[in-house]
């Protein structure tokens, strides 16, 4: 079965602290994984995808096929990073299978 699990509903950190948002997936083929972000009152937007292997807004994510994980990391959190983060798995048809999301709260 295709499934994405984000174990934390809420992650609260202080400004400047490291952040790691966890994502585990279940997929029988070769996965395509994404992180989406939704800031308050804004639409869902793509943050990064594993095939790009790039850093966006200081965030990175590495696909670990052995652990079936795609955790999102940032070394120093900023207050403007406060948002809802969704991990998603791309199926062959193009549809996305989303996790339940993690709210990141960065305190001053």
* C-beta separation of 31 from 85 below 8 A: no
Least CB distance to other proteins at residue 91 (A): 9
79 phi and psi angles, rounded to 5 deg: -60, -35
The position carrying tokens 């400047």 is 16
Reduce the secondary structure of 1-33 to three states and give it as a string. Answer: CCEEECCCCEEEEECCCCEEECCEEECCCCCEE
Nearer to other proteins by Cβ, of 29 and 94: the residue is 94
Which is closer to other proteins, CB of 17 or CB of 51? 51
3-state SS, residue 85: strand
In whole angstroms, how close is the CB of 20 to other proteins at the nearest point?
A: 19
Q: Where are the alpha helices (DSSP H) in 23-106?
A: none
Q: Which residues bind other proteins (CB under 8 A)?
A: 4, 9, 34, 43-46, 49, 86, 88, 90, 93-101
Q: Give me the least distance between CB of 100 and other proteins, in Å please.
A: 5
Shortest reach from residue 76's CB to other proteins, in Å? 27
Please say which residue, 17 or 46, places its beta carbon nearer to other proteins.
46
Measured from the CB atom, is 57 or 95 closer to other proteins?
Answer: 95
């Amino acid at each position: 079965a295709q499934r994405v699990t984000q174990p934390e509903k809420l992650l609260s950190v202080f400004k400047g602290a490291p952040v790691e948002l966890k994502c585990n997936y279940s997929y029988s083929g070769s996965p395509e994984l994404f992180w989406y972000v939704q800031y308050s009152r804004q639409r869902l937007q793509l943050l990064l995808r594993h095939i790009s292997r790039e850093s966006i807004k200081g965030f990175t994510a590495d696909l670990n096929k052995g652990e079936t994980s795609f955790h999102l990391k940032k070394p120093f959190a900023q207050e403007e990073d406060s948002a809802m983060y969704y991990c998603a798995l791309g199926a062959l048809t193009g549809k996305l299978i989303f996790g339940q999301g993690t709210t990141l709260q960065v305190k001053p």
